[in-house]
Amino acid sequence: MAWVLIVIAGLLEVAWSIGMKYTDGFTRLWPSVLTGAGIVASMLLLSRAARSLPIGTAYGVWVGIGAAGAAVVGMLALGEPATAARISFVTLLLVAVVGLKATSGH
């Protein structure tokens, strides 16, 4: 169950990080409210998962999903450059996430 929570928390991290782009420095009400709610929900799920997973693993997977997901959404939906180097580094992030999961002992 903890791994499901981490994946959901990571996806929420993608959502709130992309959402920050639309808050205009937290000056727009609804994007700011939704982004704030995503931050809180993501952190709560991370803390819940960290009850049974090592914090280094939980945090590393959470950050990896968030960073890779935000980069992919940026490239696919927001017109950010999709260079071979960027795609390679996102792939390395995902390999690291899988490696943390595989070596966590859970």
Residues listed for the chain: 106
Which stretches of the chain are DSSP H helices?
2-21, 29-49, 55-77, 84-102
The percentage of the chain sitting over the pLDDT mark of 90, rounded to a whole number, equals: 97
C-alpha–C-alpha distance, residues 45 and 22, integer Å: 23
Domain ranges of the chain: 2-102
Helix (H, G, I), strand (E, B) or coil at 80: coil
Segment 19-30, tens digit of pLDDT = 999 999 999 999
Look-up of token digits 């995503």: 38
Segment 18-70, tens digit of pLDDT = 999 999 999 999 999 999 999 999 999 999 999 999 999 999 999 999 999 99
pLDDT of 71 strictly over 80: yes
